[in-house]
């Protein structure tokens, strides 16, 4: 989820205090083989980790140089952001679903498909530029092979089905380009679906007629249906309409954040799991804890009031300075890595170990990331907590990648059988 509010976009600009990796677990001098921290690092090295949502493409697009090339090289260690190759290797990340993010404004002004194609081009160029480090993954088999060769895979997921525009044939176009899931909408209702953030009058009361056609076409060509960002009715209808399992690529549990529709309810977790799908837990603090979620509403209101009183635009320096001051005086109550484990626990207790995965939203939620999971180097911290809570290695492997790989393969097999 790219920032879609004044709060997150300005906090990303204003927060210079967030450093990456400052909460990493230090390796003991003589670690015991049974030490959970060391075991967590060992499992991260041994198991394939697939993260369902990382916002690197738009992060790079926002900082292009005069030649149109990104000013950051994620093949090297970067000073900013949550993802780069050295940190991915350190954390054991194998498969990054790169978010092809389409802001809602493109639904109105046009150009959504063109933007999606340009972001796919950017990801492919990253892989071509460092072939010893990165490779595209269009299938689970390719992802496994890349991992065996020591490469980090880039899989593709479009965040906002507005990229399809009003042409059903664009679904097959994006499948040919390597897209393996599509989030049907984002922060506003679009031509396919109602959005969770659009709390006013619903446009479709779920999916649009065209949205249901798109779901059927995604099933036909082999693209996973992603229900993150959808309204409750839209999620329910997407699950019912799809002939194969669906995913929520970066959604946490509403049980911990009552009233926050962007997270998924217990009823809908059961519905997704009942179809064989996977809920992939978002790492943003506002998704994880009620305190952080309430804080985001408070700072959003404070900034909107400040801007309204002074007639300021969202990108004004004065509003940015206000955000910096507010953050200093009222620090964000960050969640912790243990809170991510709580959400995993909740899904497992509701529907079993086969229906939960990881969808961090790295580079999409900025300084709201929890203590202990600040960037892609820190997945071992989560594995440590899961080990301490009694999860076995087979369970952790399912969470790390096994569950989403199963859905990915089921979707591919269904398309191949038609």
Predicted confidence at residue 21, as pLDDT, reads 34
Predicted confidence at residue 4, as pLDDT, reads 39
Partners of 226 in beta bridges = 183, 247
Closest to 367 measured CA to CA, from 5, 88, 9:
9
- Residue 98: other Cβ atoms inside 10 A: 29
Burial per residue of 25-44, b for 16 or more beta-carbon CB atoms within 10 angstroms, e otherwise: beeeeeeeeebbbbbbbbbb
Predicted confidence at residue 221, as pLDDT, reads 98
Q: Alpha-carbon distance 409 to 310, whole Å?
A: 54
Rounded to 10 degrees, the C-alpha dihedral 70/75/78/83 comes to 100
- C-beta of residue 371 within 8 angstroms of C-beta of residue 329: no
Predicted confidence at residue 33, as pLDDT, reads 55
Q: Which residue has the tokens 């990253």?
A: 126
Q: What is the DSSP letter of 226?
A: E
Predicted confidence at residue 324, as pLDDT, reads 87
Per-residue pLDDT tens digits for 75-134? 999 999 999 999 999 999 999 999 999 999 999 899 999 999 999 999 999 999 999 999
Q: Alpha-carbon distance 203 to 123, whole Å?
A: 33
Q: What is the pTM of this model?
A: 0.91
Q: What's the sign of the alpha-carbon dihedral 353, 356, 362, 367? A: negative
Predicted confidence at residue 6, as pLDDT, reads 37
Three-state secondary structure call for residue 97: strand
- The encoded tokens of residue 317 equal 């320096």
- C-beta of residue 365 within 8 angstroms of C-beta of residue 302: no
Per-residue pLDDT tens digits for 172-203? 999 999 999 999 999 999 999 999 988 777 99
- Residues sharing a CB contact under 8 Å with residue 68, sequence separation 6 or more, in sequence order: none
Rounded to 10 degrees, the C-alpha dihedral 42/380/264/7 comes to -160
Q: Which stretches of the chain score pLDDT less than 50?
A: 3-32
Question: Domain segments of the chain: what residues?
Answer: 6-17+34-416
- C-beta of residue 19 within 8 angstroms of C-beta of residue 382: no
The kind and range of the H/E element at 52 are strand 49-54
- For the chain, the C-alpha Rg in angstroms (whole number) is 20
Closest to 252 measured CA to CA, from 229, 275, 234, 235:
229
Written out in words, the top-level CATH class of the domain with range 6-17+34-416 is alpha beta
Q: Alpha-carbon distance 10 to 3, whole Å?
A: 9
């Amino acid at each position: 989820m790219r920032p879609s509010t004044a709060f997150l976009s300005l906090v990303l600009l204003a927060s210079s205090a967030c450093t990456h990796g400052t909460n990493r677990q230090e390796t003991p001098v003589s670690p015991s083989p049974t030490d959970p921290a060391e075991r967590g690092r060992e499992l991260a090295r041994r198991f394939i980790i697939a993260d369902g949502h990382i916002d690197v493409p738009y992060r790079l697009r926002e900082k292009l140089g005069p030649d149109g090339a990104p000013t950051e090289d994620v093949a090297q260690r970067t000073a900013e952001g949550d993802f780069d190759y050295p940190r991915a290797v350190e954390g054991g990340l194998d498969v990054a679903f790169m978010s092809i993010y389409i802001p809602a404004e493109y639904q109105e002004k046009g150009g959504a498909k063109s933007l999606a194609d340009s972001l796919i081009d950017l990801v492919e160029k990253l892989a071509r530029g460092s072939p010893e480090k990165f490779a595209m993954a269009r299938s689970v088999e390719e992802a496994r092979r890349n991992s065996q060769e020591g490469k980090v895979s880039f899989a593709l997921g479009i965040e906002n089905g507005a990229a399809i525009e009003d042409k059903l044939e664009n679904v097959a176009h994006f499948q040919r380009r390597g897209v393996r899931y599509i989030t049907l909408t984002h922060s506003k209702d679009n031509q396919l679906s109602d959005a969770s953030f659009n709390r006013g009058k619903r446009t479709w009361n779920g999916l649009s007629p065209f949205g249901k056609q798109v779901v059927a076409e995604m099933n036909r060509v082999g693209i996973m249906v992603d229900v993150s960002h959808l309204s409750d009715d839209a999620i329910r209808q997407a699950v019912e309409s799809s002939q194969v399992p669906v995913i929520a690529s970066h959604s946490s549990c509403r049980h911990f954040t009552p009233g926050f529709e962007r997270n998924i309810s217990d009823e809908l977790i059961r519905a997704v799991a009942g179809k064989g799908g996977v809920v992939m837990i978002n790492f943003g603090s506002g998704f994880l804890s009620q305190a952080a979620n309430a804080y985001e509403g408070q700072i959003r209101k404070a900034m909107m009031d400040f801007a309204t009183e002074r007639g300021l635009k969202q990108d004004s320096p004065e509003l940015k300075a206000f955000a910096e001051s507010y953050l200093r005086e009222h620090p964000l109550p960050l969640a912790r890595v243990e809170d991510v484990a709580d959400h995993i626990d909740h899904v497992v207790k509701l529907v079993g170990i086969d229906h939960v995965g990881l969808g961090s939203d790295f580079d999409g939620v900025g300084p709201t990331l929890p203590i202990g999971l600040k960037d892609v180097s820190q997945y071992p911290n989560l594995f440590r907590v899961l080990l301490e809570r009694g999860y076995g290695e087979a369970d952790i492997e399912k969470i790390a990648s096994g569950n989403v790989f199963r859905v990915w393969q089921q979707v591919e097999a269904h398309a191949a059988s038609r």
